[in-house]
Amino acid sequence: MRVALGVEYNGARYSGWQRQSHVNSVQQEVEKALSRICNHPVEVICAGRTDAGVHGTGQVIHFETQADRDMVAFTLGMNTLMPKDIAIRFAQPVADDFHARFSATARRYRYVIYNSPLRGAVLNEGVTHFHHHLDETKMQEACQYLIGKHDFTSFRAIHCQANTPTRTIHHLSVQRQGTYVIIDIKANAFLHHMVRNITGSLMDVGLHKQQPIWIKELLDCKERAKASATAKAAGLYLVDVDYPEQFNIPQTPLGPLFLPDIDVI
């Protein structure tokens, strides 16, 4: 039986999603709980590997098992076995041709900035604090240059191993909710650190260090060194993954949950 799971996690105390030796990872905790439920070793495949400190509210994984279990064993059962900062949001049997990574048609991230002169305490692990005022209107103006199919070399980590820097951004917006500035981005796929690198450059536009047209100049020059520094991991969330309707993957509310949902095609 092949099963898909929706996973939510606070990545603050993990060295990313991917299982690694000598460090704690989200994948390790999920596989440990699954192996107990199934009574045999289980390996999972995820829709998108997140870096150290990055969160997930819409991560999707799949695994295979010969154990005969009700889906409630993979939701309530796993949630009793895993740390409090990792939770299963849904469990769904899927066809054998479903693949959490390769069947995905798009991924969506949100970056949350707490834009206030003084730092907060309650949500400090889930947002990036930035004390200088950001002009979200200018940041939104800059977004238009990134939408569509482009070579994103200027926003790609130097050690990125993707075969091509070309990606297609379907949606990119910046909005303010009180003291929070939220960057919402959806694309067919992402390069390593792409969202955080785009965020860093948009923040410089929001500080009036650069004009919105500068984002287009960065795209055209294809030089990572010309763009801004990579934004911190703490504010980044993988919030949704799109799949063809044939797989019947459940739709769950986007996160972070205190922000309004934005309809995106």
Question: For 82, which DSSP code?
Answer: S
> Within 10 A of 36 (CB to CB), how many other CB atoms are there?
13
For residues 65-82, give the mean pLDDT.
95
Single-letter code of the amino acid located at 34: L
Give the residue numbers marked as catalytic.
51
CATH of span 2-103: 3.30.70.580
Tell me the per-residue pLDDT of 223-251, one tens digit each, with 9 for 90 and over.
999 999 999 999 999 999 999 999 999 98
Q: How confident is the model at residue 106 (pLDDT cuts 50, 70, 90)?
A: very high
Q: Per mean pLDDT, which range of 17-21, 28-32, 73-77, 192-196 is the poorest? A: 17-21
Please tell me the predicted confidence (pLDDT) of residue 261.
57
Please tell me the predicted confidence (pLDDT) of residue 252.
85
Q: How confident is the model at residue 217 (pLDDT cuts 50, 70, 90)?
A: very high
Fold match flag (2-103 vs 106-237)? yes
pLDDT surpassing 60 at residue 259 = no
Question: For 160, which DSSP code?
Answer: -
262 Cα distance to chain centroid: 16
Tell me the per-residue pLDDT of 47-60, one tens digit each, with 9 for 90 and over.
999 999 999 999 99
Question: For 225, which DSSP code?
Answer: G
Report the CATH architecture of 106-237. Answer: 2-Layer Sandwich (3.30)
For residues 95-123, give the mean pLDDT.
95
Q: CA 84, 86, 91: angle at the middle one, nearest 5?
A: 125
**What's the predicted TM-score (pTM) here?**
0.93
Q: How confident is the model at residue 202 (pLDDT cuts 50, 70, 90)?
A: very high
Tell me the per-residue pLDDT of 74-93, one tens digit each, with 9 for 90 and over.
999 999 999 999 999 999 99
- 239 closest CA partner among 109, 80, 140: 109
Per domain, the residue ranges of the chain are 2-103, 106-237
Please tell me the predicted confidence (pLDDT) of residue 206.
98
Please tell me the predicted confidence (pLDDT) of residue 263.
60
- 184 closest CA partner among 263, 97, 246, 94: 263
